């Protein structure tokens, strides 16, 4: 029995190779994701192990992100360095966001991985950093830089270097007195930018006083283990500090950095899921076809005494072999994907090599995914195979197409409540829960639609066919596509899934963009926007100094310039944490620049301990004008008075406080700036002048109104692109599925093909007939997918409108047309091989084909 099914496997290898490909794709994305993330982690571990190579124990603040992190004093540091077993100490005086400007063009060299250190004029006691030329800085106006930094900033020893200082929030100019490198002759460890200052200057600048340290690294004496030293140091630690061995510190740091690359991991896992789901349909179809073609063989086995379990088992065994082959190839391909991904990432960030890491878990998950997907897909075909009666060996047992009624009723049972939920979620004012309701409804509608798709296939294909199926060859293609609605629907399922997701995303994104553009265009008096780096920590520690706006106000033609501060860390109002943070600005000025309608109280410039908020939040927090409520900003709790409530718009929403509150913010920098101009003033030259002013603040962008819209929608565009790539993956698999189905159709209909050739259809006509069938299957999938996607997208947008995140439902016709076009191209491509097969048939052979 096993031998028979394995032999059969080899004979069907072409068809099965399509199923294998679907598994390969899915497994490759999963394995690629896991290997890439493990490999990068290994690389980071190697990096931090290098940094900590001579370090036995690290002492650091428990909460380095705190507004006022703990600092070591001179006396505390001295006490720790006198702990028995300490051979050497390297105190840490450092800050992030110390960004040098290029000497040649004045542009900041890097917005991230830019560090500043304070050094005490002596060589690094732990031997990591080595002076290459010149000397260490010993005066306030001096710095030493690493060789990599010197190269990026295009500066040499003895030259001037402008450096942005994060706590001072402004740049200063220094003289480069030394160039350093790392042990082993490296210019940088991971492409980082490093500027070293005189220690007391760094302490004063970064920590606000001399004699303070952020932490320290300790080397143990010969014969003292890292753990032992950690115990001894921990016993003497001041409050707010923790001690880690060098090893522990490396692991903690690499885990923190590894999180940054998780987005790649999740995108690849998303691909794996889509490829897996779509692959199930392809594999399902493949095994159905195989079982149908093997009916006689299976019946013979049954006639010879095989039980139904053995027959079903033989199909499942075949599926198992297919899945193992697919998973093996997929694993290999995934390792390839990971290697490519690693190469791409490490070309941006220089990291020490650690080789590709293929963890046992990766291998297990890869095989598990392949096997589960395949067996799930092959289950129904296996059951079908087991129900072949032995008599089918003797003659053709006509197994009529099962009626679609039962399937359609089940579909309707899913779809109708789904539609109800979607409508309820979209139109009832449910607040945030609307999205849960919508999501549940969308899943039901989607499942229902897939089940109903065979019922819809015939009318839709015929309707579409009336447009393309001109001429008798085209007409025959249309009829063939409508002939077996189940097969057409299953074949199109991959496309339906992919296109629904993309249609939905595209509709929401388009609606959001159109809404924003409408609002920006109509109502606001703001022509120029200033925006901190999107990746900046939203707590006032990155951005621009509001004092710089005085220079902006001096530009001819500028009417007003407003600074907006933003804090999203640890803010709470009325005892409720505010994940969307709090804004501080001159609210009276904001009301002149933006449409802010009071629904309660007044909207005016706020004094200390006064706030206004939008109607949604007011309702949630049960606040009205005149109420007093506790507000926590930067760890400080104060009682605020609610001065007014305004109507939320997609542009302005949230809790606003006055400029005096900025004193409580973790940092004094503004997150956004808005500039209005006098009538008739051209924005472009003003943008250029403001850019010059903002050049001192790395990461700050200046743009006109449209660029602000573009920026606000950029993250949605990114989402859209990610989903489009997903669509591409789904389309590739769908293309294989269509190819599969068409080849089957051609084999099944060989005599028909011979017949139409005999009565005068040309080869070209035959090619056209097959192409029309293929294109109709794809277009049917796109049509249904777009209808579902746009419908669901519109429902989600409606819910967003209720929450004031959007004002209109906009349908992205251009994108939709592109997807349709892509489907037509895919359909034509899928038809190439089957059409050639059909055209090559010899007429006489085809007619006498059994």
Q: Among 723, 761, 782, 786, which residue sits at the site for other proteins (rule: CB under 8 A)? A: 761
Work out how close the CB of 292 gets to other proteins at its nearest, in angstroms, rounded to a whole number: 17
The CA-based angle 459-463-468, given to 5 degrees, is: 140
**Range in contact with other proteins (rule: CB under 8 A) among 126-134, 609-617, 629-637, 758-766:** 758-766
Cα→Cα distances 226→57, 82, 234, 245, 789, Å: 6, 16, 12, 6, 59
Question: According to the binding rule CB under 8 A, does residue 254 interact with other proteins?
Answer: no
Question: According to the binding rule CB under 8 A, does residue 154 interact with other proteins?
Answer: no
Q: Are 173 and 161 in contact (CB under 8 A)?
A: yes
Q: Are 26 and 279 in contact (CB under 8 A)?
A: yes
Write out the two tokens for 159.
Answer: 């030259």
**Range in contact with other proteins (rule: CB under 8 A) among 12-20, 258-266, 474-482, 508-516:** 474-482
Q: Are 128 and 182 in contact (CB under 8 A)?
A: yes
Q: Among 714, 758, 817, 821, which residue sits at the site for other proteins (rule: CB under 8 A)? A: 758
Q: Among 480, 500, 514, 774, which residue sits at the site for other proteins (rule: CB under 8 A)? A: 480
Question: According to the binding rule CB under 8 A, does residue 747 interact with other proteins?
Answer: no
Place of tokens 């002596």: 122
Q: Which CB sits closer to other proteins, 259 or 398?
A: 398
Question: According to the binding rule CB under 8 A, does residue 73 interact with other proteins?
Answer: no
Question: According to the binding rule CB under 8 A, does residue 472 interact with other proteins?
Answer: yes
**Range in contact with other proteins (rule: CB under 8 A) among 155-163, 605-613, 674-682, 842-850:** 842-850
Q: Which CB sits closer to other proteins, 684 or 759?
A: 759
Question: According to the binding rule CB under 8 A, does residue 462 interact with other proteins?
Answer: no
**Range in contact with other proteins (rule: CB under 8 A) among 109-117, 466-474, 684-692, 827-835:** 466-474
Q: Which CB sits closer to other proteins, 37 or 750?
A: 750
Q: Among 316, 473, 690, 743, which residue sits at the site for other proteins (rule: CB under 8 A)? A: 473
Compute the residue count for the chain: 850
Q: Among 175, 247, 346, 475, which residue sits at the site for other proteins (rule: CB under 8 A)? A: 475
Sequence-ordered list of residues with C-beta below 8 angstroms from that of 723, at least 6 positions apart, any chain: 501, 502, 505, 506
Q: Are 15 and 740 in contact (CB under 8 A)?
A: yes
DSSP string, 784-818: HHHHHHHHHHHHHHHHHHHTTS-S-----HHHHHH
**Range in contact with other proteins (rule: CB under 8 A) among 185-193, 473-481, 647-655, 703-711:** 473-481
Q: Are 55 and 217 in contact (CB under 8 A)?
A: yes
Q: Among 95, 476, 504, 508, which residue sits at the site for other proteins (rule: CB under 8 A)? A: 476
Name the 3-class secondary structure at 412. helix
Question: According to the binding rule CB under 8 A, does residue 242 interact with other proteins?
Answer: no
Question: According to the binding rule CB under 8 A, does residue 88 interact with other proteins?
Answer: no
Question: According to the binding rule CB under 8 A, does residue 837 interact with other proteins?
Answer: no
Residue 295: strand pairing partners: none
Cα→Cα distances 110→97, 194, 196, 372, 439, Å: 9, 11, 16, 46, 41
**Residue ranges of E strands in 43-113:** 57-61, 72-73, 86-92, 94-96, 99-100
Sequence-ordered list of residues with C-beta below 8 angstroms from that of 210, at least 6 positions apart, any chain: 200, 203, 204
**Residue ranges of E strands in 548-625:** 558-567, 572-573, 576-577, 582-584, 598-601, 610-614
Work out how close the CB of 757 gets to other proteins at its nearest, in angstroms, rounded to a whole number: 8
Task: Report how many residues bind other proteins under the rule CB under 8 A.
Answer: 23
Q: Which CB sits closer to other proteins, 751 or 836?
A: 751
Cα→Cα distances 338→58, 59, 158, 256, Å: 33, 35, 44, 20
Question: According to the binding rule CB under 8 A, does residue 466 interact with other proteins?
Answer: no
CB 753: neighbour CB atoms within 10 A? 25
Question: According to the binding rule CB under 8 A, does residue 844 interact with other proteins?
Answer: yes
Contact positions with other proteins (CB under 8 A) in 482-511: 483
Work out how close the CB of 761 gets to other proteins at its nearest, in angstroms, rounded to a whole number: 5
Q: Which CB sits closer to other proteins, 15 or 763?
A: 763
Q: Among 258, 765, 789, 834, which residue sits at the site for other proteins (rule: CB under 8 A)? A: 765
**Range in contact with other proteins (rule: CB under 8 A) among 121-129, 153-161, 315-323, 478-486:** 478-486
Q: Among 27, 504, 506, 756, which residue sits at the site for other proteins (rule: CB under 8 A)? A: 756
Write out the two tokens for 674.
Answer: 């808005």
Work out how close the CB of 463 gets to other proteins at its nearest, in angstroms, rounded to a whole number: 17
Name the 3-class secondary structure at 399. coil
Q: Among 592, 762, 813, 817, which residue sits at the site for other proteins (rule: CB under 8 A)? A: 762
Question: According to the binding rule CB under 8 A, does residue 471 interact with other proteins?
Answer: yes
Question: Minimal CA–CA distance to 677: which of 511, 517, 524, 835?
Answer: 524
Question: According to the binding rule CB under 8 A, does residue 346 interact with other proteins?
Answer: no
Question: Minimal CA–CA distance to 669: which of 171, 169, 95?
Answer: 169
Question: According to the binding rule CB under 8 A, does residue 843 interact with other proteins?
Answer: yes
Question: According to the binding rule CB under 8 A, does residue 416 interact with other proteins?
Answer: no
Contact positions with other proteins (CB under 8 A) in 178-207: none
Question: According to the binding rule CB under 8 A, does residue 759 interact with other proteins?
Answer: yes
Residues near other proteins (CB under 8 A) are 471-473, 475-476, 479-480, 483, 751-752, 755-763, 765, 843-844, 847
């Amino acid at each position: 029995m096993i031998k028979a099914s394995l032999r059969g496997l080899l004979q069907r290898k072409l068809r099965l190779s399509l199923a294998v490909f679907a598994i390969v794709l899915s497994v490759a994305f999963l394995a690629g994701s896991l290997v890439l993330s493990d490999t990068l982690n290994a690389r980071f571990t190697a990096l931090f192990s290098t940094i900590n190579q001579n370090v036995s124990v690290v002492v650091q603040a428990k909460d380095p992100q705190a507004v006022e992190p703990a600092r070591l004093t001179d006396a505390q540091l001295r006490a720790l360095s006198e702990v028995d077993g300490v051979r050497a100490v390297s105190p840490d005086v450092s800050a992030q966001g110390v960004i040098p400007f290029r000497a040649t063009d004045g542009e900041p060299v890097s917005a991230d991985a830019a560090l500043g250190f304070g050094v005490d004029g002596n060589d690094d006691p732990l031997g990591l950093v080595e002076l290459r030329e010149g000397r260490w800085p010993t005066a306030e106006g001096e710095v030493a830089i690493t060789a990599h930094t010197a190269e990026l900033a295009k500066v040499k020893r003895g030259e001037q270097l402008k450096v942005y200082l994060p706590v001072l929030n402004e740049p200063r100019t220094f003289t480069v007195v030394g160039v350093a490198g790392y042990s082993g002759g490296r210019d940088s460890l991971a492409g980082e930018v490093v500027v070293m200052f005189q220690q007391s200057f760094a302490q004063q600048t970064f920590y606000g006083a001399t004699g303070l340290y952020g932490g320290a690294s300790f080397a143990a004496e010969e014969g003292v283990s890292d753990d032992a030293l950690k115990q001894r140091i921990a016993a003497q630690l001041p409050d707010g500090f923790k001690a880690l061995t060098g090893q522990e510190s490396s692991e903690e740091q690499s885990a923190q950095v590894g999180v940054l690359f998780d987005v790649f991991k999740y995108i690849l896992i998303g691909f794996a899921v889509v490829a897996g789901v779509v692959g199930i349909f392809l594999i399902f179809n493949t095994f159905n076809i195989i079982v149908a073609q093997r009916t006689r063989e299976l019946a013979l086995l049954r006639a010879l005494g095989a039980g139904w379990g053995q027959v079903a088992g033989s199909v499942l065994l075949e599926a198992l072999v297919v899945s193992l082959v697919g998973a093996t190839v997929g694993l290999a391909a995934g390792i390839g994907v990971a290697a490519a991904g690693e190469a791409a990432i490490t070309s941006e960030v220089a990291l020490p090599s650690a080789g590709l890491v293929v963890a046992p878990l990766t291998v297990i998950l890869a095989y598990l995914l392949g096997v589960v997907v395949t067996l799930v897909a092959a289950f129904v075909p296996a059951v079908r195979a087991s129900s072949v009666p032995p008599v089918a060996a003797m003659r053709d047992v006509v197994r009529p197409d099962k009626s679609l009624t039962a399937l359609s009723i089940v579909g309707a049972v899913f779809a109708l409540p789904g539609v109800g939920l979607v409508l309820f979620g979209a139109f009832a004012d449910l607040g945030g829960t609307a999205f849960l309701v919508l999501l549940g409804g969308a899943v039901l509608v989607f499942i229902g639609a897939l089940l109903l798709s065979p019922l819809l296939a015939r009318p839709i294909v015929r309707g579409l066919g009336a447009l393309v199926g001109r001429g008798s060859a085209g007409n025959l293609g249309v009829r063939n596509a409508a002939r077996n609605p189940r097969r057409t629907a299953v074949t199109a399922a991959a496309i339906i899934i992919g296109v629904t997701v993309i249609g939905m995303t595209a509709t929401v994104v388009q609606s959001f963009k159109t809404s924003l553009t409408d609002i920006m265009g109509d109502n606001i008096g703001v022509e120029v926007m200033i925006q901190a780096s999107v990746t900046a920590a939203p707590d006032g520690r990155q951005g621009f100094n509001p004092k710089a706006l005085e220079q902006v106000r001096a530009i001819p033609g500028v009417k007003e310039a407003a600074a907006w501060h933003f804090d999203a860390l640890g803010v709470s109002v009325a005892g409720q944490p505010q994940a969307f943070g709090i804004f501080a600005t001159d609210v009276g000025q904001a009301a002149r620049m933006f449409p802010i309608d009071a629904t309660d109280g007044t909207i005016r410039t706020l004094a200390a301990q006064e706030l206004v908020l939008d109607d949604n939040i007011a309702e949630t927090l049960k606040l009205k004008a005149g109420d007093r409520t506790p507000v926590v900003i930067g760890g400080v709790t104060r009682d605020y008075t609610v001065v007014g409530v305004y109507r939320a718009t997609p542009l302005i929403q949230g809790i606003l406080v006055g400029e005096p509150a900025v004193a409580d913010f973790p940092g004094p920098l503004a997150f956004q700036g808005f500039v209005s101009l006098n009538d008739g003033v051209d924005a472009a030259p003003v943008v250029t002048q403001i850019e010059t002013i903002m050049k001192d603040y790395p990461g700050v962008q200046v743009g006109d109104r449209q660029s602000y819209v573009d920026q606000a929608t950029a993250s949605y565009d990114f989402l859209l692109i990610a989903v489009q790539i997903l669509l591409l993956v789904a389309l590739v698999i769908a293309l294989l599925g269509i190819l599969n189905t068409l080849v089957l159709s051609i084999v099944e209909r060989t005599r028909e093909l011979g017949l139409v050739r005999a009565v005068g259809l040309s080869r070209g006509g035959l090619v056209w007939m097959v192409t029309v069938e293929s294109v109709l299957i794809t277009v049917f999938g796109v049509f249904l997918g777009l209808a579902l996607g746009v419908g669901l997208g519109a429902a989600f947008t409606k819910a967003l409108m209720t929450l004031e995140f959007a004002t209109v439902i906009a349908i992205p016709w251009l994108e939709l047309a592109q997807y349709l076009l892509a489907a037509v191209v895919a359909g034509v491509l899928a038809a190439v091989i089957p059409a050639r097969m059909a055209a090559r048939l010899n007429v006489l052979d085809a007619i006498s084909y059994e």
